[in-house]
Amino acid sequence: MIDLKSVSNPQPRANLEGFLEAAPARLATEGGAGTASAEESRSLKHLAAKGRGEPLRRRSALGGLESILGPTDDRVRILDTDLTPWRMVCALRMRGPSGSAIGTGWFVGPRTLLTAGHCVYSTQFFGSGGWTTEIEVSPGRNGTEFPFKTVKSRSFSSVDRWVKSEDPDFDIGCIHLSEPIGNEVGWFAVAALAPEELQGYLVNVSGYPGDRGAGTEQYHHKNRVLQVTDRRVFYDVDTFGGQSGAPVWIHETDGAPPLAVGIHAYGTGGSPTGLEANSAPRIIPEVLEQIRGWVEADGGWPTRP
């Protein structure tokens, strides 16, 4: 077991009311569909990978912090971002003492988003203090269209293993909102799957890259898990800078809801194994417990009737 502790930025937390009953202890949290349109997404039906399978295509990497793997870029733009699960994915604009940056986040509760640790704390991006000062969150942004309310946050958390040493195995961040936007757009279920259980799944990564749409358009790609270690999952999925913090999710079967298993953070340049793959810190049991703690601190999940 890893002794993992939450670390928050020095900004005062919002005064949240109505603390709700927490989810029972388990190795997964339940997702929420939200109150927005229940129309089925054509993108989800035709583009998202489901279940296990053979690699869609094995390609050579070009390298970089986040990488296009091979001579072609197979990412596809998502246009129905007002539908689930795309609306649970948010375009982020981070502002800090040294300037601004773009990233991706996703809802895990009504007021709680996950993202990469370096989107909330990075001495490289945000100076010696490390913490970003403000993040603008736009759920399901589609270019110049904003299907849902854009909100700003000054309240962030990460884990001690990231803040103390920026350990890539724990590149995990959290954004706390004062408004329960997730009740409308929904949130991902999150699971801590064992390495042998995760191996072989087809995974999805969707976020807001800087090379296409300058962080305003959502792009998705899918492919198979290539390798799973104790704390990371590696996959042959195209990404680019700005997609850091995107959800890495599976559908256990065709028709099953999305289940997030990692937080996208690195390209081949971040692979300690030399494997030509992009990668994410895995949702391990200790990380799942921390996610549950963040959601509970933000007011929890709605209780079921």
Active-site residue set: 118, 244
Q: Which residue has the tokens 């388990």?
A: 26
**Looking at the DSSP assignment, which residues form a beta bridge with residue 145?**
142
* Separation in Å, CA 80 to CA 19, 147, 235: 33, 10, 25
Tokens at residue 225, please?
């898990």
Query: Sign of the C-alpha dihedral, residues 41, 42, 47, 49?
Result: positive
Q: 179 exposed, middle or buried (CB, 10 Å; 0-12, 13-18, 19+)?
A: middle
What are 213's two structure tokens? 């749409």
Question: φ, ψ for residue 154 (rounded to 5)?
Answer: -120, 15
